C-alpha cells in the first residue's frame, strides 16, 4: 500500500498505525533521505493491502482538521464523486473526522 505521510507522523507512528514492524517499513522504503520520512512523502507500507483496491495506483490519506472531501478533491485534483464511490466506508460524505483514513485512487485520471 502507498501512504501519504501526514504532518506530525514518523515512520514509527506509521508502523504502529498499520501494525507493521519498523524494520519492515524501512526495508520497503530504502531510498528515504537519511533514513527518515517527511510530511508529504508517499511511502510504501508492506503487508497492508485492501482487496477492493488496486495493488498500485492509490494512496492512503488521513483526514486532517478542517478537511472536507471537496477540499481533498481540489487539493489532489481528483473527482469528488469518485472519491466518494471509492470509499464506501464513508456513509455520509458531509461527515468525516480527523484521523479517518480514506483512499485516493489516482490511476485512470
Comparing 28 with 98, the larger pLDDT belongs to 28
Mean pLDDT of the chain: 83
CATH number of the structural domain spanning residue 18: 3.10.350.10
Q: What is the pLDDT of residue 72?
A: 94
* CB neighbour class for 46 (10 Å; exposed up to 12, middle 13-18, buried from 19): middle
Query: How far apart are alpha carbons 59 and 43 in whole angstroms?
Result: 9
Q: Which of 30, 32, 34, 38 is nearest to 6 (CA)?
A: 38
Q: What is the pLDDT of residue 109?
A: 43
Residues 6+ apart with CB under 8 A from 96: 63, 67, 68, 69, 90, 102
Residue range 26-79, pLDDT digits in tens: 999 988 877 788 888 888 888 765 546 555 678 888 888 899 999 999 998 899
Q: How many domains does the chain have?
A: 1
User: Phi and psi dihedrals of 44, rounded to 5?
Assistant: -95, 135
Which residue segment(s) compose the domain that 28 sits in?
2-105
Amino acid at each position: 500500500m502507498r501512504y501519504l505521510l501526514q504532518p506530525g507522523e514518523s515512520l514509527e507512528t506509521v508502523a504502529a498505525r498499520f501494525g507493521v514492524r519498523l524494520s519492515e517499513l524501512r526495508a520497503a522504503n530504502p531510498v528515504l533521505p537519511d533514513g527518515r520520512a517527511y510530511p508529504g512523502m508517499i511511502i510504501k507500507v508492506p503487508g497492508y493491502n485492501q482487496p477492493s483496491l488496486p495493488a498500485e495506483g492509490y494512496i492512503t490519506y488521513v483526514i486532517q482538521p478542517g478537511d472536507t472531501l471537496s477540499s481533498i478533491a481540489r487539493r489532489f485534483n481528483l473527482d469528488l464523486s469518485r472519491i466518494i464511490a471509492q470509499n464506501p466506508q464513508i456513509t455520509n460524505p458531509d461527515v468525516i473526522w480527523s484521523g479517518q483514513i480514506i483512499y485516493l485512487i489516482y490511476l485512470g485520471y
